[in-house]
Amino acid sequence: MTDILLGVGELGAANTPGDRLRTLALGSCIAVIILDAKTKTAGMVHVVLPLSKTNPEKASNLPGYFADTGIPTLIKAMGKMGCNENGKGKIVKLVGGAQIMDPNNTFNIGKRNLLAIKKILWKYRLGVIAEDVGGNISRSVAVDLGTGKIKISTPGRDEWEI
Amino acid sequence: MSNLTVTREQVLAELNSVPMLPHSASRVLEISNDPDHSMADISRVAETDAILTAHILKVVNSSAFSLSQRVDSLERAISYLGKNVIVGIVLSYSLSALYDKPLEGYASQKGALWAHGLRTALASKEIVKFTSGKHYANVAYTAGILHDLGKSIISKFMDGSVRELISSVENGTAADFLDAERVLLGTDHCEVGAELAKLWSLPDSLREVIRYHHRPRLADETYRPLVYAVHLGDMISMMGGLGTGADSMNYQLDSTYPDYVDISEDQLTELWFAVEQEFNKTKSVLFGDEEGDEQ
Ligand SMILES: [Fe+2]
Ligand SMILES: [Fe+2]
């Protein structure tokens, strides 16, 4: 039973039942969670911003920071653990992408992240089967490798699952 | 604590039991409020406080810096650490009684208020450069650290009411969390913080930020560029996942901000990035590299 804690912009994958992949306080960041049914592998990346062109140097040091570099790198990392390096047999869940209360959507980085992520997933022919995104709450996530269940928490509320 | 009986007067009376700010801290705040202050000015204040001096030397000699030699003089310590880190040390040391506890009323953990303040400070210092108040860069930093001061006072009066506060924002009874605090207590963290600032004789600029950071359009015209900068800095801090708990992101962005802050979405994204790096660096100097929940 190991907790693998992913920091801001980090990614990781695991396939030992009982282990958990976790990331904290997403705010407008999005956790992209990819589950591979055949190998029972789960991968997660904590995406901060949509596009690596903002800072190519950062993208090469910490590819998970950006949606367009994070998802391909995660899929490759899962490939090293025996998964196909394409969309076959994988399902995707998304968590995070919250925003402040802003009727004009000027600062909606969460939404921009979500759009960028979906565009890249589309290239892999990966559809999102479940998502808990948007709203005004900062979420923390735990992916249980054994059950594939995804637990979400935020201060002041009961935990829930997707 | 039962919220049914809490009145505004009771909450404000709590301020009587808050210790006064140490002299060295109020001097540092006063000095950093002056746009033309120098490092030497701050060094001179720190020198007069032996415990503070020892604390600064401890930080500079800690593992965060792999210096080959021990640093024994305050002057050298300050030149290593830089002005912002020194101000950070002085404030973290003087405000520890208020900042180093979990905020029950916000369901947030120990350290969250400090991390939120520091992230806001670093963002505000950059954002103020996009306003007509560029000379406020240093003030924006200290104001960012202090802006949510009031939360540490009102938190205990909201213990047990977190769910009630959240649902009043969700069902629209309250416009945002600040409004929800006011419905429950007859006051909010901005008003209480500003009262404390008055009690501590903090400069007007800081008091104005503390009072109006969620409603910048109501601030005194003179300080509005500064207040808007911290307003946006606060938002960036919350979007980066560094809120102070249950209230995080439950605040309204003031739609008039473009009248005072001229910043594009791309500039904001670049700034976000720089601020995060600066934050990680400053935080590890001030507190070491402990991992923990960021909420
Ligand atoms: Fe606030
Ligand atoms: Fe705040």
Cβ of residue B184 closer than 8 Å to a chain A Cβ: no
Cβ–Cβ below 8 Å for B241 and A55: no
Tens digit of each residue's pLDDT (9 = 90 or more) over B50-75: 888 888 888 888 755 656 778 888 88
Q: How many CB atoms lie within 10 A of CB A142?
A: 19
Cβ–Cβ below 8 Å for B239 and A100: yes
Q: Show residues of chain B in contact with A140, CB under 8 Å.
A: 293, 295
Phi, psi of A62 (to 5 degrees): -140, 75
Q: Show residues of chain A in contact with B106, CB under 8 Å.
A: 155-156
Alpha helices in chain B (DSSP H): 8-13, 23-32, 39-47, 50-60, 74-81, 83-94, 96-99, 112-127, 137-146, 151-154, 162-170, 177-185, 189-199, 204-212, 224-239, 265-287
| Element at A119 (helix H, strand E) | helix A109-123
Interface of B with A in 110-149 (CB under 8 A): none
Q: How many CB atoms lie within 10 A of CB A79?
A: 16
Cβ–Cβ below 8 Å for B253 and A136: no
pLDDT, residue B56, reads 87
Which CATH number do you get for residue A142?
Answer: 3.30.1330.200
Query: pTM (2 decimals)?
Result: 0.93
Mean pLDDT across B133-145 = 93
Q: Count Cα atoms within 13 angstroms, Cβ side, for A51.
A: 10
B20, pLDDT greater than 50: yes
> DSSP assignment, residue B68?
S
* Amino acid letter, residue A158: D
Residue of B164, B176, B253 to mutate for A, most A C-beta atoms under 10 A: B253
pLDDT tens, chain A, 162 aa long:
789 999 999 999 999 988 999 999 999 999 999 999 899 999 999 999 999 998 899 999 999 999 999 999 999 999 999 998 888 889 999 999 999 999 888 888 999 999 999 999 999 999 899 999 999 999 999 999 988 899 999 999 999 999
Q: Of A100-104, B89-93, B168-172, B266-270, which one has max mean pLDDT? A: B168-172
The class of domain B6-18+101-287 in CATH terms is mainly alpha
Q: CB within 8 A of B36, min separation 6: which ones? A: none
pLDDT, residue B4, reads 59
B293, pLDDT greater than 50: no
Cα B258 from Cα B269, distance rounded (Å): 16
Nearest ligand to the C-alpha of residue B242? 2
Confirm whether A83 is a catalytic residue: no
**Domain count along chain A:** 1
What's the B103 CA to ligand 2 centre distance in angstroms? Answer: 13
Tens digit of each residue's pLDDT (9 = 90 or more) over B219-244: 999 999 999 999 999 999 999 999 88
Mean pLDDT computed over every residue of chain B: 89
Domain containing A143 equals: 3-161
pLDDT, residue B74, reads 85
Task: Check A6, A29, A45, A150 and give the catalytic one.
Answer: A29
B289, pLDDT greater than 80: no
Cβ–Cβ below 8 Å for B252 and A100: yes
In angstroms, the separation between the Cα of residue B64 and the nearest Cα of chain A is 19
* Nearest C-alpha neighbor of B150 from the set B83, B74, B212: B212
pLDDT, residue B245, reads 92
B16, pLDDT greater than 60: yes
pLDDT, residue B3, reads 47
pLDDT, residue B292, reads 43
Whole-angstrom Cα Rg for chain B: 19
Phi, psi of B103 (to 5 degrees): -100, 95
B294, pLDDT greater than 70: no
Residue B28: pLDDT band (50, 70, 90) is confident
pLDDT, residue B286, reads 81
Quick check: A65 and A59 in contact, CB under 8 A?
Answer: yes
**In chain B, domain spans:** 6-18+101-287
pLDDT, residue B2, reads 47
What ipTM did this prediction achieve? 0.92
Mean pLDDT across B153-179 = 94
* Nearest C-alpha neighbor of B47 from the set B92, B97, B94, B90: B90
